[in-house]
Structure 1
Amino acid sequence: MHASAFLRLGFLALLLAVAAPRPAEAADAGQVVQLLDLPRHAALMRHATAPGTGDPDHFRLDDCTTQRNLSEAGRAEARETGRLLRTAGLADAAVLTSRWCRAADTAREMDLGKVEPFPPLDSFFRDRSREDAARRDILARIADRKAGDPPLIMVSHQVNITAVTGIFPASGEIVVVEVLQDGTAAVRARLSP
């Protein structure tokens, strides 16, 4: 094949890649903020980067030194997510969090509103028998959100978000869901850290 034909094919491939639409669920911070104004919508956020998996055998909920915690990069990630959402117009949110330190620290570092613990957001990584109850309670809390309520951000863990959405989120990723009338969650947007 002639060199100019290769160049034309390369240019065509580049043009198609640039013009291709992003996946429907990919969003920017502005889209996320708009969705969070809608009733029955909430942001499920996986805690920011905390190296490792699960928790140490000596884990205690009341002692952060026994838990897997945010790295400095994770803290910076959470602050940047908060900054992006504030810049996009999110003024004050209801922020619910798992009681695990890495989730609560993520919520506080974002600085988007008063942070309150919500036990259904606690990790059930070690106790899968809690999955159905956690999913049900998370969905019920989102379904209760009415027009005019503050935006709802729920900081949790991979297992909880996967149980609600079927998505395996990255550390620090936000998955915006709407709870439908049948009680299931529909993913409306995703925001990568």
Structure 2
Amino acid sequence: MHLLNIFRRGQRLGLCLILLVAAMPARADEQAAWAALGQGGHIALMRHAVTVPGVGDPPGFRLGDCATQRLLSDAGRDWARRIGADLRKRGAAAGRVLTSAWCRCVETAELMDLGPVEVFEPLNSFFGTGEGGVKQTEAARELMAAWRGPATLVLVTHQVNVTALTGIYPTSGEIVVLRPGGEVVGRIRP
């Protein structure tokens, strides 16, 4: 029985070590992202903060009517405020804040409180359209390629847009930090 307990403790210790080692690259990745944002001239490509449960929007939703859309949850609003405060605290000044027209993106951008928020239609969701958002993705790529700072370009959009631009499937509220050429520097996860 005593040997069995030692074996079980060893398994738990081994599992803890594996989890710790697995988390190390993510931590370095996040540190690189924060460092780049502090330098300015980079792009913070963010998926809107967490919403009420659901996927996409209810049938018949209208862009100009937030009551018809899937909106941020209280936790999402809290995260948007906190990440905005963290960005300001770490010296990541926003040169421009652009967002999708969807209410959950606009609200995320506004709650971050990084500066005036502008709707940029190429950041609008193309989820479920079947077209894949090729023209929108190209317009967003052109904007990012032309960014020269000196501050950070903040883009608040949807999972499908972030994935099309980077190949990354972000969690809600995640920021992918990019160089103007589109190279991923790191990720900041909620």
1:75 aligns with 2:116: no
Distance 1:14 1:75 in 2: 33
CA contact (8 A) 1:25 1:187 kept: no
Q: 1:56: which partner in 2?
A: 58
TM, length-normalised to structure 1: 0.83
Q: 1:102: which partner in 2?
A: 104
Q: Percent identity?
A: 42
Distance 2:179 2:95 in 1: 17
Distance 1:47 1:70 in 2: 8
Distance 1:60 1:115 in 2: 20
Q: 2:67: which partner in 1?
A: 65
Number of residue-to-residue matches in the alignment = 185
Could you say what secondary structure the match of 1:26 adopts?
Answer: helix
CA contact (8 A) 2:51 2:76 kept: yes
1:26: Cα distance to partner? 2.8
Distance 1:126 1:3 in 2: 53
In structure 2, relative to structure 1, the CA distance for the partners of 1:5 and 1:58 (3 Å cut) is closer
Letter in 2 for 1:188: V
1:187 aligns with 2:184: yes
| TM superposition outliers: structure 1 runs of 4+ over 6 Å | 7-10
Greater per-residue helix proportion: 2
1:94: Cα distance to partner? 1.2
1:78: Cα distance to partner? 0.7
Root-mean-square deviation (CA), in Å? 2.5
Could you say what secondary structure the match of 2:154 adopts?
Answer: strand
1:167 aligns with 2:164: no
Q: 1:27: which partner in 2?
A: 30
List gaps (5 residues or longer) in structure 2. none
1:138 aligns with 2:135: no
TM, length-normalised to structure 2: 0.84
In structure 2, relative to structure 1, the CA distance for the partners of 1:188 and 1:91 (3 Å cut) is closer
Per-residue deviation, residues 40-90 of structure 1 (Å, max 9, x unmatched): x31110001112111111211111111111111110111111111112112
CA contact (8 A) 1:44 1:176 kept: yes
Letter in 2 for 1:101: C
